[in-house]
Amino acid sequence: MSTAIKSHDTAKACAVEMENEAYHKCEELSNSQNNVIIDESPAHFKFYKDNPQPPTRAMVTGQIVHLLVLEPEKFLDTAVAMPQVDRRTKAGKEFVEKFEIDNIGKVILDNDLYHQAFGMIGSVMDHLTAKAILKQNHNELSFFGEIEGVKVRCRPDILREGRLLADLKTTDDASFRGFQKSVANFKYARQAAFYADVVSQVTGETYDTFTFIAVEKHPPYAVQVFALDEASMERGREEYKRGLALYRECLLTNKWPGYSDQVVPLSLPSWAF
């Protein structure tokens, strides 16, 4: 058996197979929660944790595309398309009301979102490199570990033989410059380093290759695959560990501060001049 296959099996043996909803209820710190601590404040983290926010349309789109690509067998149990009806009529309103009652607990997609999702999945599966990454892999496995005294968790979209982690990203712009901007704006380097370090710590094997499958949310639903370089991974690692240190301090003191309690000097931004 090759080293790659051994690594693949080791990772699965160390992972926890659980539903996405159950995973998000776990107490261990996730990358997205750590981002809130770093970019907003511990107070914001505590509030969002105690008061979960409803998903945005963009989040729903990403969720559906993930299901179709990574867990297609769960799609029919999770989502349903709303038939086109005239909601201005009494019959249309009654149909919608009954349809929503009959599908409680499912994500109800409107016609536009339904066709958008299938357009995106078609492009992903037509892309040779993306399709190759999606072969011989494990999807949506959960890992629970500890980094620098903090209990952490992650749920990589794709774990492929050869110690490769990959993530499926829906985006407005999958060009080099467009997605480069998304990596900076949405802190994807932190995510890559966080996931790689958690999986490496749990499995005892080094995961240092992280790729993104970027698919645009509008026709022609163009796809491009990116591998994050070592310098960006290291920068992401420095940033996420800063959040872990702050989180650890908050746990010890049971204090969750917001912004600075000092007077902060303020000036107009440079563009205003």
42-98, pLDDT tens digit by residue? 999 999 999 988 878 778 777 778 777 877 777 777 888 888 888 889 888 888 889
* Domain tally, the chain: 1
Give the Cα separation of 195 and 25 in Å (integer).
18
pLDDT at 59: 80
257 preceded by a cis bond (ω within 30 of 0): no
pLDDT 10s digits, 133-178: 988 677 888 999 999 999 999 999 998 877 889 999 999 999 999 9
Query: Which candidate, 174, 135, 182, 164, places its Cα nearest to that of 227?
Result: 164
Count of alpha carbons within 13 angstroms of residue 233, beta-carbon side: 17
Query: Is the Cβ–Cβ distance between 222 and 177 less than 8 Å?
Result: no
In this prediction, residue 5 carries a pLDDT of 45
Q: For 93-107, 146-160, 226-240, which range has the lowest pLDDT when averaged over its residues?
A: 93-107
Residue 264 domain flag: no
The residues, ordered by sequence, that sit 6+ positions from 221 with a Cβ below 8 Å of its Cβ are 119, 120, 122, 123, 215
Q: Give the Å distances, CA to CA, from 159 to 40, 94, 116, 143.
A: 30, 45, 26, 11
Is residue 111 in some structural domain? no
Per the domain annotation, does 178 fall within a domain?
yes
Task: Determine the pLDDT at residue 257.
Answer: 96
What phi, psi does 67 have (nearest 5°)? -60, -45
pLDDT band at 10 (very low <50, low <70, confident <90, very high): confident
Q: What pLDDT was estimated at residue 2?
A: 38
Does residue 119 surpass a pLDDT of 60?
Answer: yes
Token pair listed for 38: 């770093």
Range list of H helices, 28-167: 31-39, 42-50, 57-70, 75-78, 90-102, 111-126, 128-133
pLDDT score at 53: 83
CATH number at residue 40: 3.90.320.10
Evaluate whether 179 touches 212 at the Cβ level (below 8 Å): yes
pTM equals: 0.87
What domain range is 248 assigned to? 3-53+125-255
**Is 69 a member of any domain?**
no
Predicted confidence at residue 9, as pLDDT, reads 66
Whether residue 78 is contained in a domain is answered as no
Instruction: Output the average pLDDT for the chain.
Output: 89
Q: How far is CA 262 from the centre of its chain?
A: 35
By percentage, how much of the chain surpasses pLDDT 70? 96
Domain membership of residue 84 (yes or no) is no
Assess if residue 58 is contained within a domain: no
In tens, the pLDDT along 11-23 reads 778 888 888 889 9
Residue 266: pLDDT above 90?
yes
Termini Cα distance of the chain? 65
205 SS3 class: coil
Alpha helices in the chain (DSSP H): 3-14, 20-23, 31-39, 42-50, 57-70, 75-78, 90-102, 111-126, 128-133, 176-185, 188-203, 230-253
- Let me know if residue 262 belongs to a domain: no
Q: Does the structure show a pLDDT above 70 at 3?
A: no
Give the per-residue pLDDT at 8.
Answer: 58
Once rounded to an integer, what is the mean pLDDT over residues 242-267? 96
Q: How far apart, in whole angstroms, are the C-alpha atoms of residue 45 and residue 36? A: 6
